[in-house]
Structure 1
Amino acid sequence: MDNNSTYIQVMIQSLNRKIEVLEKIIGYTQEQEHVLKEEEVDLDQFGDLIDEKQKWIEQLNLLDTGFEKLFERVKEEIQLHREEYHEEIEQMQGLIKKITDLGVVLQTSELRNKVRFEQYSANKKKEIREFKMSNTSASKYYQNMANQHQGQSYFLDKKK
């Protein structure tokens, strides 16, 4: 029973750590949102934020895996002796509720960022398309003008 109590305490610590990691990820997501709101988006800064966030996401996945393994070890004991672990169970339920709330905040922030980034990408694609079209038009114009002068001088020389 002593080992199980220790495992439960480690699970609580894991949940607290998961909250910290989620808050860090939310912070990076909010920084990405600020970068995307700027008039001229700094893609290097945006990429750096993605890299940093990825490190924390990997940490979050490790915490999830560790928690699941611990839970499998003590699941039966907790179910059999629910009264003994009542306080710990309530504490874990509160932490899980907070984690769920943070997850919802993170999902909505990510969705907003996705929409903003898609708008940014669409605008950049449009700018590139317009640039290519104007470049092609200018090139054709200069080619046309160059060919017109050759044709005129040719006819002038023939008339002489």
Structure 2
Amino acid sequence: MEQSVQSNDNSYLDIMVQSLTKKLAVLDAIEKVNMQQKEILEDDMSSPDAFDKTVDQKSEYIDQLDQLDSGFDKLFDRVKELLETDRESYRDKIIQMQELIRQITDRSVDLQKQEARNKELMTNRFAQVKHRAKSVRANSKATTEYYKTMMKSGLIDPQFMDNKK
């Protein structure tokens, strides 16, 4: 009976390690999307649709992270007491999970820095677009006013004057 319980616990721990490994892979994918967003935001010729596509991709990855976190938490709740009482039996798995968690934490910090950088790029990009829109409106208004003025000026068509008597 004791062997069966320990086998189940090892299976839970293996699944937890897999979950952490998958989470690290998803964080890598988010990092790639962040780099794409950076390139899009730095390219004046890029379209808003390209940026929207990356936002959708990132949203899917975040949903995956939420699912992985939820599953990990449920498994941890099942084995938490056992890990606290018999740490030495599961020492290798615990060390492996600690290392993965350390990597995940480091990657999360890097992602937060990338997000902050991209937010600043986006703010600058929106300011540029707003400035361009104001410039276009001002130019359009000036052109319209010019044409209105020219139409109202009542210019007289050129005429010849006969100075002979």
TM-score by length of 1: 0.88
Quote how far apart the aligned CAs of 1:64 are: 0.7
Aligned residue for 1:125? 130
Aligned residue for 2:75? 70
Aligned residue for 1:82? 87
Quote how far apart the aligned CAs of 1:53 are: 1.9
Equivalent of 1:60, from 60, 65, 78?
A: 65
The answer to which structure has the higher helix fraction is 1
Out of 82-91 and 11-20, give the one that drifted further. Answer: 82-91
Matched to 1:93, the amino acid is Q
CA distance in 1, matches of 2:136, 2:77: 59
Asked which structure has the greater CA Rg, the reply is 2
Aligned residue for 2:20? 15
Quote how far apart the aligned CAs of 1:128 are: 0.2
Aligned residue for 1:157? none
Q: Secondary structure at the match of 2:153?
A: helix
Quote how far apart the aligned CAs of 1:111 are: 1.1
State the Cα deviation string for residues 79-120 of structure 1 (Å, max 9, x = none).
Answer: 111111111111100000000111111111111111111111
Quote how far apart the aligned CAs of 1:38 are: 2.0
Aligned residue for 2:163? none
Quote how far apart the aligned CAs of 1:24 are: 0.8
TM-score by length of 2: 0.85
Matched to 1:45, the amino acid is A
Segments of 5+ residues of structure 2 without an aligned counterpart are 158-165
RMSD, matched Cα: 1.7
Equivalent of 2:40, from 35, 40, 47?
A: 35
Quote how far apart the aligned CAs of 1:57 are: 1.4
Instruction: Tell me which stretches of 4 or more aligned residues in structure 1 moved more than 3 Å.
Output: none
State the Cα deviation string for residues 134-160 of structure 1 (Å, max 9, x = none).
Answer: 21122122222222218x89xxxxxxx
